Amino acid sequence: MTRLAVLLLAIVALAPVALRAQDPGMSRAFEQERRGNYAGAADAYRGVLAKRPADAAALLGLERALLPMGLSAEILPQARAALAAPSASGAAFGVALRAYAAAEEPDSLRSVAERWAAAAPGDETPYREWGAAALSRRDRPGAATAYLRGRLQLQRPDAMAAELAQLAFADGDFEGALREWLPAVRRLPGYRVSAVSTISQAPDSARDALLAAVDREHDFTARRIGAELRARWGDPLGALERLRAALPETRPVAVEALRGLLDQLRTQPGREARVAQARALELIAERSPDAERARLRLDAARVYSAAGERESARRMLVGIAEDRSAPGTISSGASATLVQVLIGEGKLEEAARRLAERRGEMGGDEHAVLQRRLVVAYIESGDLRRADSTLGADSTVDGLALAGRLRLYHGDVRGALERLKAAGPFAGDRGEATDRTTLLALLQPIEADSLPALGDALLQLARADTAAAVTGLERVGGGLPPDKGGAGLRLLAGRLAVTSGQASDAERLLRAAAVPEAPGIAPAAELALAELLLDQRRPGEAVAQLEHLILTYPASALVPHARRRLDEARGAVPRT
């Protein structure tokens, strides 16, 4: 029915102007059909066919009009008259086949198909339409008979292969479907997409046998189908390796096959799929003209980098960055990506050198972004001197925000506050803005202008040494009044202890932060403590803590959240 629908829609699209201009009867019939008056259209088409029984356009129009009314079999008189014409058209044979199928007359269906085949020797169409007509009445054995009859009469082992493949798959004969798809694709490569799409739906239990069967074939068509199936079935690296080993010397054919597999790989999740994508791009680049090679290698480098394959990414990028014949935009993009890769590898001196060498090729914004990433990397390595010199006098809002952190890591609380406030709320992404707001809230109560120990503790946090950060923050917080930064630092230390699994330290620090002398900090500390108690399955203590928070700080913005947690602690609602 799908093929019929496409055919009929094409006829509808092409016919109306000519019909209206040439035949008033056809014009009336088509107009009735366009308006949805199928009964009127059918009568009008019958009127035309009464005068010209072999008129293919009228016969197809009558078929279209009868179909939505469920009266397809009523076209049989007109179909027989069309077949009786001196030279019956293929359209007449096709309409007759579909009509006999609708009328449940399989013997007549076969007779018409064989007559059509005799009139068109060597043509697969009669057998294909015979099979399609049988399938329209859900007669799969009848369709198989039609297709096999066509193969026998045409004396070609690949005749009707695609149709037989689809039948075999529908019957659960997955290896049989593969055996049919292979000759179909060898004859018409355009079938490959349908073949892979169909076979890839085979159940897990059949896949090993299917891959073994395709591996026994030695031609490129089979190896390509096998590679694309492996990619769909979760073995992207194996898929690429098998295709690579089978690639022909002909470059256009090899590139087209690699691009086809690349399209499959892009739909697959996971690191291995990304690595396979990058390797496929590299193989395509090796076989591409010079004008395209640099861009493909840059694409490969970016995918390698996303997959964590920094050495492979760097190998791609170094070649592009040092190739003076590469287009400027590609070379600049390669240089920028190479700097990012080198930063990720911790090769900061090389990253700084390449960033300086390529400054003239990059846009100002791109260079500034990479420079700030390098500053962050120096901070994370603990080299504040290089971080300071690399940042320089960056007066952008992002630069000011980063300068504020640097001043803080040096222990300069006042200088940090000045720069963080100057940066405002718009520097960086939402997460960075939130972190900066939290940091400002932490620093503003502190009256000391300089606290080197605080800077050192926060630097340890930036370097992902949570244990050292907790120890340092607790020590500094213990030396400050609760309402002058002491409670806030203990709260931060307690939260860090929670995330690092130090439950006993976390409880002690959170209790130390939840003091009445620091009413701005205490509600958050009490809520964090209650959540810790819930995590430790101490609901009774959590209930008492939450009730205390709600009663003591009723105006706090955290009270609604605390009420929700209280219901959870009491078992009134499921815990989220």
The Cα 31–Cα 40 span in angstroms is 10
The Cα 123–Cα 114 span in angstroms is 12
- Residue 438 has a pLDDT of 83
In terms of C-beta density within 10 A (0-12 exposed, 13-18 middle, 19 or more buried), how is residue 485 classed? Answer: buried
How does pLDDT run across 203-256, given as a tens digit for each residue?
Answer: 999 999 999 999 999 899 999 999 999 999 999 999 999 999 999 999 999 999
Looking at residue 45, the DSSP 8-state letter turns out to be: H
The answer to whether residue 260 sits within a structural domain is no
Query: Taking the model in full, what pTM does it have?
Result: 0.63
Partners of 450 in beta bridges = 412
The answer to whether residue 98 sits within a structural domain is yes
- Residue 5 has a pLDDT of 46
Smallest CA-to-CA distance from 378 within 348, 408, 403 is with: 348
- Residue 369 has a pLDDT of 86
* CATH number of the structural domain spanning residue 454: 1.25.40.10
- Residue 295 has a pLDDT of 87
DSSP output for 63-131: HHHHGGGT-GGGGHHHHHHHHTSTT--HHHHHHHHHHHHHTT-HHHHHHHHHHHHHHSTT-SHHHHHHH
The answer to whether residue 20 sits within a structural domain is yes
Q: What is the dihedral of CA 437, 440, 445, 446, to 10 degrees?
A: 150
Domain boundary among 135, 156, 177: 156
Cβ contacts of 513-521, under 8 Å, gap ≥ 24: 513/482, 513/487, 513/488, 514/487, 515/482, 515/487, 516/552, 517/481, 517/482, 517/483, 517/487, 518/482, 518/483, 518/486, 518/487, 518/488, 519/553, 520/445, 520/483, 521/482, 521/487, 521/488, 521/491
The Cα 96–Cα 86 span in angstroms is 16
- Residue 206 has a pLDDT of 95
- Residue 9 has a pLDDT of 40
Backbone angles phi, psi at 464, to 5 degrees: 70, 20
How does pLDDT run across 307-355, given as a tens digit for each residue?
Answer: 989 889 888 888 776 666 666 677 677 778 888 888 888 889 988 988 8
Q: What's the structural domain count of the chain? A: 2
The answer to whether residue 252 sits within a structural domain is no
Look up residue 299 and give its two tokens.
Answer: 């694409």
- Residue 230 has a pLDDT of 95
- Residue 18 has a pLDDT of 44
- Residue 327 has a pLDDT of 65
- Residue 203 has a pLDDT of 95
Site of tokens 């049919």 = 180
- Residue 321 has a pLDDT of 65
Smallest CA-to-CA distance from 163 within 233, 142, 153 is with: 142
Look up residue 194 and give its two tokens.
Answer: 């349908």
The Cα 144–Cα 127 span in angstroms is 10
CA distances from 121 to 117, 133, 142 (A): 6, 20, 21
One-letter-per-residue 3-state SS of 364-387: HHHHHHHHHHHHHHHHHHCCHHHH
- Residue 529 has a pLDDT of 94
Domain boundary among 156, 183, 213: 156
Helix (H, G, I), strand (E, B) or coil at 519: coil
Cα dihedral 480, 483, 484, 485 sign? positive
The answer to whether residue 256 sits within a structural domain is no
The answer to whether residue 129 sits within a structural domain is yes
- Residue 7 has a pLDDT of 41
- Residue 233 has a pLDDT of 95
Domain boundary among 134, 156, 178: 156
- Residue 3 has a pLDDT of 44
The answer to whether residue 385 sits within a structural domain is no
- Host domain of residue 57: 1-156
The answer to whether residue 424 sits within a structural domain is no
Below-50 pLDDT ranges, the chain? 1-21
- Classify 299 in phi/psi space as left (phi over 0), alpha (psi -120 to 50) or beta: alpha
